[in-house]
Amino acid sequence: MKSIIVSVLVLLNIFLGFSHGKVCLSNECKETAKRIKSWMDLSQDPCQDFYLYSCGNFKNQYPLPTGVGFVESIALVAHNLVKQIHGLLLDDNLKNHGSQVVRESKQMFDDCMKKDDNLTDSNVFKSMVDKIDMCQHPLEFKYPAVLSRLYVDKYFNVQEYQEAKNTILAVKKAVESLNIKWTSIETRETIKNHLNTMQYNIGRPDWIINDKELDDEYNGKKHEAWQVKVRQANTAYVYWGKESLYIPAGILHYNIFNRKHPKALNYGAAGIIAGHEISHGIDHWMSFQEEDVKTLESHVKCLIKQLETVKEPQTGSQYKNASGLRNESLADVGALNPSYLAYKQYMNGKEDESLPGLDLTPDQLFFVSQAHLYCFNADDDLIKSHMKHGYGNPFPYFRVVLPVINSPSFAKVFKCETGRPMNPVKKCDLW
């Protein structure tokens, strides 16, 4: 009987397309596997062009609307956030909420909704959506923390918060364990000191889920303000005042974080975002050591040269001068190694889950998850314009390719021979 069961499971694995140990079969994982596969172009060779392999079908899934020259995957996170925020105050249970300001917000919203709305029979649904937004909008200004509280209650519970916090702090721990050989001992100690004194603002502030503290916020007791809103699809490293890292709940959803996903996906997205912001910090902390600054800039010159050498495949464009992309390119490349190390340290030899219908190992899923932060669809004119006047963030194609061509781990995971486009002989070493 046991051998029959094993045989059935093996056949099931073959039929569904998995061959990599444990498979996550939850509804969330099935939907995520479907989305990941729909963005990828599996006819492409990951060692030839990892962007086209990971994101080659994104433009078919998200064609450009009329008059729009650019669509990117991070915008889908923001769009999902807008849908989540819409109608947070419709729940009648809020009338009996433990917080006074929540009850007041609910009353204000209900009073607004009862006003003559002039709904038209031709488009009642759209009119109702507009009315809900109109009635909720004033509360964004009067009681912004209330809407943040309702958002985390519904979409970012304690379990999600703790898992997200653990993931991001694991990246911090991985950075601490790095031995950046080309830096001085003093600089390594400086980095560790900053990592341990920096404030990590992840998901939401603790006070916001306490009814009394939430009421106190509007009764004269102001809490420390976050530089990034809880309901915002954005992140930040802030070095002025109290040195802080912000990764709010508003970005920790969709393809970036879900505690029910395989860990590889979370570390490949949320972990990369954390590694990116911490890399900005390392760049800043090194600026006080003259010799290390000189060495770092030599490594950065290597990255700039790569940016000016790699061609964007849709238009064949190249950066003529990529020096304006220095800071963000450094953070993109600097994020990958500690995030992958954090993932491996967390798993500690244990087997992660793979996804159904995707012939990808968990380690390969990590890198695909990183790429899916930056999938895009753009018209030729916009690409050429950015390549000509590049400043700030590199064009999304390079945010996928530049980190992996400098990653020995990527080459090993995808078995890319030395000298292939995604595994060049010369790599730019950061940390």
| Per-residue model confidence (pLDDT) at position 159 | 96
Residue 8: what pLDDT?
44
Instruction: Give the pLDDT confidence score for residue 242 in this predicted structure.
Output: 85
Answer whether 275's CB lies under 8 Å from 269's CB.
Answer: no
**Can you tell me the distance from the alpha carbon of 30 to that of 23, in angstroms, rounded to the nearest whole number?**
10
> Residue 2 has what pLDDT?
46
Report the DSSP pairing between strands 236-238 and 70-72. Answer: unpaired
At 376, is the secondary structure helix, strand, or coil? strand
| Whether the Cβ atoms of residue 50 and residue 401 lie closer than 8 Å to each other | yes
Closest listed residue to residue 246, CA positions, set 287, 220, 276: 276
pLDDT score of 177: 92
pLDDT at 119: 60
Give pTM, 2 decimals.
Answer: 0.91
Residue 282 has what pLDDT?
Answer: 93
CB crowding 124-143: b at 16 or more within 10 Å, else e: eeeeeeebbeebbeebeeeb
- Whole-angstrom CA distances from 233 to 243, 268, 305, 389, 422 are 21, 17, 31, 26, 30
Q: What's 226's DSSP letter?
A: P
DSSP 308: T
Which domains, and CATH codes, for the chain?
86-142 (no CATH), 152-413 (3.40.390.10)
Retrieve residue 327's tokens. 């800071």
Helix (H) or strand (E) holding 133: helix 124-142
Predicted pLDDT of residue 239: 87
Residues 6+ apart with CB under 8 A from 301: none
List C-alpha distances in Å: 377 to 29, 30, 43, 63, 146: 25, 25, 19, 7, 36
CA-based nearest residue to 414, from 352, 348, 366: 366
What pLDDT does 391 receive?
A: 83
Burial class of residue 324, CB neighbours in 10 A (0-12, 13-18, 19+): middle
How confident is the prediction along the chain (431 residues), in pLDDT tens digits per residue? 544 444 444 444 444 444 467 999 999 999 999 999 999 999 999 999 999 999 999 999 999 999 999 999 999 999 999 889 988 999 999 999 999 999 999 999 999 998 876 665 566 677 888 889 899 999 989 999 999 999 999 999 999 999 999 999 999 999 999 988 889 889 999 999 999 999 999 999 999 999 999 999 999 999 998 999 999 999 999 988 789 999 999 999 999 999 999 999 999 999 999 999 999 999 999 888 888 899 999 999 999 999 999 999 999 999 999 999 999 999 999 999 999 999 999 999 999 999 999 999 999 999 999 999 999 999 999 999 999 887 889 999 999 999 999 999 999 999 999 999 999 999 998 88
Per-residue pLDDT, 21:
74
Q: What is the pLDDT of residue 39?
A: 98
